[in-house]
Structure 1
Amino acid sequence: MKKVLNRTQFYQFLGLSLFLITQLFVSPLFAQDGAEATMAEEAPASDLGGDTDKGKQLFNQNCAACHALNRKMTGPALANVETRLYEDEGLEKEWLYAWIKNSAGVIASGDAYANKIYNEYNQAAMTAFPTLSNEDIDNILAYTAYVPPAVAGGGGGVTPPPTEPQSSGISNEIILGALALVFGLLVLMLFLVNKTLRRIAEANGVEVVRANAEVRKPIWKAFAENQFLVLCTVIFFLLAAGYGAYAWMSQVGVDQGYAPVQPIHYSHRIHAGVNKIECKYCHSSARVSKHSGIPSLNVCMNCHKSIYEYSGNGEAPSAEDLANGYTNEFYTGEIKKLYKAVGWDEENQRYTGESQPVEWVRIHNLPDFAYFNHSQHVEVGKIECQTCHGPVEEMEIMYQYSPLTMGWCINCHRETEVQMADNAYYDKIHDELSKKYGVEKLTAAQMGGLECGKCHY
């Protein structure tokens, strides 16, 4: 009687082979990664003679109002300040102790470097911090010294020190690639093992039990003969087609993300972000009018009579700006376009009268049948511009941030609580409606913000 190789035993053998191969190839990767992670966890936080975490807290409490790590503010930048003073000025840490605790006393002593800094920063003496101990100052200096240097050409400043040291273990990409290679080898080896076992079984006269081969219909024929499955499939595709048509038609007239190229490049990031110019300084009509309006070029010239070139506030352009071509020379060229449009003679500091119209491209458009009043939202409702227009202070190129659809407006009316405090416009109506609804706070919807005639007339 022939021996029969049990199928269960066959798969047990394959499973054991899979386990052994996995342990052989994968375990060393995780063992090495875990060892490096353990070493990173056991590594000391800093070798700089101070606690960077405490230093960061002390810096934010006492120094951040006047100093930044990577650029001048009221006072000088403090990144690597101890090293710079030692290498460039030959000053010791004791000088820093005395300066931080009583800068006026160091200046009065006639110290040359102290007086140099005092005169350079408009003769504004630094606040004295007599309560800071030498250990506290060491922690602050450790925090400032831990900051890595800025990337060349990045101009984006220096990154604050991490609260924990970062492990340099094997990256996820390498681990995933190794796993993919291992499993590929496993598939190949299982195929070869299967083929070899069958060959051995045939050579030794062992019968391998196989599943009974059944004659099966082609899948398309079996599908066509199943009327219920065909009906469900047809219904599914009809619903999918209807949903797709609805989604496509819902996007008609929705221009979210629209960012046209303007004839003069205007950077909201520089004006509203870096220089903190209030939105309503340029868009002044938003306070009193239905429209926010496009600022006239005379508003631009209020500043640009004196600002005739862009210097980047003393910082180099970031790598991203350089990649997009936003260099100091580029922005200076856009200022020259402004001068040409208004007819400004830069050399003689006068208007020539030869102005040219600037064809600005409108970004935010509402249908003619929809009514929106900026003054009602900005002045009466006290709504911030960013609520609808997004973080304009971060936008290099202005784009439509919100969808401006009817559903988007209705949701805002339902969720937004009307600012009643110090808003005389709502004194009377607030008293009446709060009694009607029995609430202290009202939403725009409760004040009629969902009535059709409010927006469609």
Structure 2
Amino acid sequence: MKKVPYRNQFSKILGLPLILFLLFANSLIAQDAPVEAVSEEAVAGGGDAVNGKALFNQNCAACHALNRKMTGPALENVESRLSEDEGLDKQWLYDWIKNSPALIKSGDAYANKIYAEYNQAAMTAFPTLSDGDIDDILAYTAAAPAAAPAAVGGTEVAAGESGSATGVSNEIILGALVLVFSLLVIMLLLVNKTLQRIAQANGIVVEKENAEKRTPIWKAFAQNQFLVLVTAILLLLGSAYYAYGWMMQVGVDQGYAPIQPIHYSHKIHAGDNKIECKYCHSSARVSKTSGIPSLNVCMNCHKSVYEYTGNPEGPSQEDLENGYTNEFYTGEIKKLYKAVGWDEENQKYTGESQPVEWVRVHNLPDFAYFNHSQHVSVAGVECQTCHGPVEEMEIMYQYSPLTMGWCIDCHRETNVKVEGNEYYEKIHAELSKKYGVENLTAAQLGGLECGKCHY
């Protein structure tokens, strides 16, 4: 047998890239060593800045920010600023925070100056705060700017770790997998080539099997009249089925999720912040329509909430992939300010407003009558029954089909709450006496009559 020389081409091709990959991955892991966390605790003037931050967020953040004017003045380094500029000591701050109206009535010059500057709106009194609590808040206002870079850095590290727990990013892992599969393909090609050489060296001739001539499938099918007839019937039935399904979907917009001119996250407002649906859609209680909330309703909160800070854990990987960062949400708040004509710097309206062209999500046909107040106030139907889990929706979409069949099924299955309603109790008693009705449904009260919804 003729000897075939062995050429270890695979080891030459595979070895060097693997060594380079291992060295590169090791360097990445070494660079991604854990960084020591910076402590947020700072002591200024005998106060605890960490406790002061919690007290500030609980009592002060609704009207004050550290570095900008809001409903009240900025509080960064407020103790040192008042001491240097106005000659006021810490006792003045104690008196002002615990009972500002009393300090104003006493005739204090600076207290009345602040009172006049902020539209004669006295600050809420906090008599329950002790001197130690106020010291902690003042310590936080003095130490917070120095702690800010550490917090930002921590967020960046947390976001960076989302790729993998070992410090190697998903891109590196994907690249390594592509490299391994590529080397496997090369290996198979080399093995095939080597086997062909061995066969040739031993005088083995590899011949391709000659396929017999056969009748083409399409020609054989066309010659069989029974198969042609059955296929034609199946195609007609299938076409009719899909045509009927397509026509039944005309006007059904389930899943419709338009992009709005100002992004509004129901997930943040109704989910994270637990804002009741009827706070914004107040007309759902007393009107046929739920109504589009006025931008003034938004400004009830966003006069003070001028930026989005997100969850303490930071944005999720899904939010980052969709671009829902803190900066994105803060930019949408700026769009709101532009629409209502709100001057952030001077905390007042300019009068230069712009209309917002909201895109309607839910839209019933004109010939169908639906009354929100009848369902929300009288029947006590929850908003999620028709609109789905809005507290989980980042972008609002039509959850239910809102078809006639869907409404009829709801009327047949929903029991009417008769407790405390003499009108329904009387009807229930009569139906129970005559027909033995145990549970009174909307259908039994005329909920299936055509004139109820089509007038």
Q: 1:407 and 1:151, CA in 2 relative to 1: closer, same or farther beyond 3 A?
A: farther
1:153 is matched with which residue: 138, 153, 158? 158
1:425 Cα deviation from its structure 2 partner? 5.6
Find the aligned partners of 1:427 and 1:415 in 2 and give their Cα distance: 19
Q: Distance in 1 between matches of 2:416 and 2:406?
A: 17
2:406 corresponds in structure 1 to 408
Q: Distance in 2 between matches of 1:410 and 1:156?
A: 51
Q: How far apart are the structure 2 equivalents of 1:374 and 1:388?
A: 11
> Partner of 1:262: helix, strand, or coil?
coil
SS in 2 for 1:396: coil
Which whole-Å deviations, capped at 9, do the CAs of 1:92-128 have from their partners, x for residues lacking one?
Answer: xxxxxxxxxxxxxxxxxxxxxxxx99x989xxxxxxx
Structure 2: gaps (5+ residues) = 1-53, 55-131, 138-154, 163-176, 178-183, 189-194, 196-211
Note the aligned Cα RMSD (angstroms): 4.6
Question: In the TM superposition, what are the counterparts of 1:16-27 in structure 2 within 5 Å?
Answer: none
Q: Shift of residue 221 of structure 1?
A: 4.5
1:235 paired residue number = 233
Residue pair 1:285, 1:291 contacting (<8 A) in 2 also? yes
Query: Helix, strand or coil: the match of 2:252?
Result: coil
Structure 1 pair 439–400 and aligned structure 2 pair: CA distance change class (3 A)? same
> For residues 215 and 333 of structure 1, what CA distance do their matches in structure 2 show?
71
**Cα 1:408/1:345, change in 2 over 3 Å:** same
Q: For 2:299, what is the secondary structure of its paired residue? A: helix
SS in 1 for 2:356: coil
Q: Which runs of 5+ in 1 are unaligned?
A: 1-71, 73-115, 122-149, 158-173, 175-180, 186-191, 193-213
Other-structure match for 1:345: 343
Q: How many residues align?
A: 288
AA partner of residue 153 (structure 1):
A
**Residues 234, 340 of structure 1: alpha-carbon distance in 2 compared, 3 angstrom cutoff:** same
Matches within 5 A, 1:378-389: 378-389=376-387
8 Å contact from structure 1 (residues 224, 230) kept in 2? yes
Match of 1:125 in 2: none
Deviation readout 1:280-316 (Å, 9 max, x if unpaired): 0100111111100001111111111221221125442
Which residue number corresponds to residue 358 of structure 2?
360
Tell me the residue number matched to 2:280. Answer: 282
String of CA shifts for 1:144-167, please: whole Å, max 9, x gaps. Answer: xxxxxx99536999xxxxxxxxxx
Structure 2 matches for 1:47-66, cutoff 5 A?
A: none
C-alpha spacing 1:218/1:335, structure 2 compared with 1 (3 Å): closer
CA distance in 1, matches of 2:160, 2:445: 49
Rounded to whole Å, the distance in 2 between the matches of 1:444 and 1:275 is 34
Equivalent position to 2:301, from 300, 303, 313: 303
- Change in CA separation of 1:291 and 1:215 when aligned onto 2, cut-off 3 Å: same
- Distance in 2, matches of 1:338 and 1:278, equals 21
* 1:248 aligned residue (241, 246, 257): 246
Letter in 2 for 1:235: I
SS of 2:158's equivalent in the other structure is coil
Distance 2:305 2:214 in 1: 82
Shift of 1:243: 0.7
What do residues 354-410 of structure 1 show as CA deviations (whole Å, max 9, x unaligned)? 221111111101111111111111111111111111110011111111111122212
The 3-state SS of whatever aligns with 1:254 is coil
Spell out, residue by residue over 1:410-443, the C-alpha distance to the aligned partner (whole angstroms, 9 max, x if none): 2222222223334556233332333344122122
Q: Name the CA shift for 1:218/1:374 in 2 (closer, same or farther; >3 Å).
A: same
> Where does residue 22 of structure 2 map in the other structure?
none
Where do 4+ consecutive residues of structure 1 move more than 6 Å?
none
Equivalent residue letter for 1:371: Y
Note closer, same or farther for the CA distance 1:217–1:351 as it changes in structure 2 (3 Å cut).
closer
Alignment of 1:30-429 (within 5 A): 153=158, 219-423=217-421, 426-429=424-427
Please report how far the alpha carbon of residue 230 of structure 1 lies from its aligned counterpart in structure 2 after TM superposition.
2.6
* Change in 2 beyond 3 A, CA 1:414/1:350: same
After superposition, give the CA deviation of every residue in 1:19-51 in whole Å (9 maximum; x if it has no partner): xxxxxxxxxxxxxxxxxxxxxxxxxxxxxxxxx
In 2: Cα distance, 1:272 partner to 1:240 partner? 44
Match of residue 192 from structure 2: none
Letter of the structure 2 residue corresponding to residue 421 of structure 1: E
How far does residue 218 in structure 1 lie from its aligned partner after superposition? Answer: 5.0
> 1:352/1:425 Cα in 2 relative to 1: closer, same or farther (>3 Å)?
farther
Change (3 A) 1:401 1:217: same
1:224 deviation in Å? Answer: 3.6
**In the alignment, is the contact (CA less than 8 A) between 1:257 and 1:401 conserved in 2?**
yes
- Cα distance in 2, alignment partners of residues 270 and 155 from structure 1: 23
Q: Take 1:310 and 1:423, find their aligned partners in 2: how far apart are those partners?
A: 45
The answer (yes or no) to whether the contact 1:380–1:425 under 8 Å persists in 2 is no
| Matching residue's letter, 1:382 | G
Map of 1:432 onto structure 2: 430
Q: Aligned equivalents of 2:299 and 2:439: distance in 1?
A: 44
Q: Distance in 1 between matches of 2:349 and 2:337?
A: 9
> Which moved further from structure 2: 428-437 or 389-398?
428-437
Opposite residue 448 of structure 1, the aligned amino acid is G
